[in-house]
Amino acid sequence: MTILQILILILIGLITGLLTGLTGASGVILVVPCLNILSNYTIHESIGTSLMVNVITALAISYVYFKHKNIDFGSGLWIAVGSILGSQLGTKYASGVKAANLGTAFGIFMLIMGAFIWRKGIKTDSITKQPKSLLKFKNSIQKSIVTLILGFFVGIMTGIFGAGGGGMILIILIFILNYPLLLAIGTSSFLMTITALSGAIGYAMHGNVRWVSGLIIGLSSVISGIASAKFANKVNDKILSKAMGAIFIFLGAVMFVVQNI
């Protein structure tokens, strides 16, 4: 590995930590296309390594939010259980998919997520301010069943696309469980650690994790992730949602084009 390659990995890590710390969403959506395009990793290696990065980053950031009492361990339990089961299924499915098809699907996934974040940032003052619950639960059992099912689908997406599920978990916490912003971000970061770990184990079993690269990116992301998590209370989330949406749309378009040239 050359010095230039190491510097690129460090840069990827710093940007990843910044995104995850500010939003609680997975910076893996940035790691996968960067590793695939810049480092010439296979799409499966990129996804497996990105999940390893996500474990390191999300764990460190979760600690910051935990210190500020912005993690709800109890209510997120069923999402975690469902995501663990789903991520193993997603990992098994992804291992049998052709790299080009998986890369194209990942690009489309990023475009959709980017458009969603951008659109929400335009229609409301913030993607996370004053959320309205999409579902009304009659009792705690019904709520647990629904969150378990949603967690399962988040896990499937994690296993297939390599995203730690932070963005999807964030949406569930805000729009379905009606969490306030900082509690949603902190809880999302914690749950993302569990989901990503399950997915990373699945990819590692197929030899699709680049350990050294993952460690470099992961440790770099911790530095910027902790700093950005502390800064999260001061961020204008309307501007942040637009910026995130634009970045995801751009990377998704690049990923789609590269995989289909």
Task: Give the pLDDT score at 125.
Answer: 40
**pLDDT single digits (tens) 78-92:** 888 888 888 778 777
The answer to whether the CB of 199 falls within 8 A of the CB of 91 is yes
The answer to whether the CB of 61 falls within 8 A of the CB of 218 is no
E strand or H helix at 252:
helix 237-259
Percent of the chain with pLDDT over 70: 74
Tokens 């399962």 map to which residue?
152
Paired tokens of 168: 């999807």
Task: Give the pLDDT score at 244.
Answer: 66
**Which pLDDT band, with edges at 50, 70 and 90, does 162 fall under?**
low
**pLDDT single digits (tens) 63-73:** 888 988 889 88
The answer to whether the CB of 25 falls within 8 A of the CB of 167 is yes
The answer to whether the CB of 181 falls within 8 A of the CB of 113 is no
The answer to whether the CB of 17 falls within 8 A of the CB of 27 is yes
More confident residue, 218 or 21: 218
**pLDDT single digits (tens) 196-222:** 888 888 889 989 999 999 999 999 989
More confident residue, 133 or 152: 152
Rounded mean pLDDT of 151-167?
Answer: 71
More confident residue, 212 or 180: 212
**pLDDT single digits (tens) 23-60:** 656 666 678 888 888 888 888 898 889 889 988 988 88
Rounded mean pLDDT of 142-170?
Answer: 75
Round to whole Å and give the CA distance between 111 and 54.
20
Paired tokens of 167: 């963005």
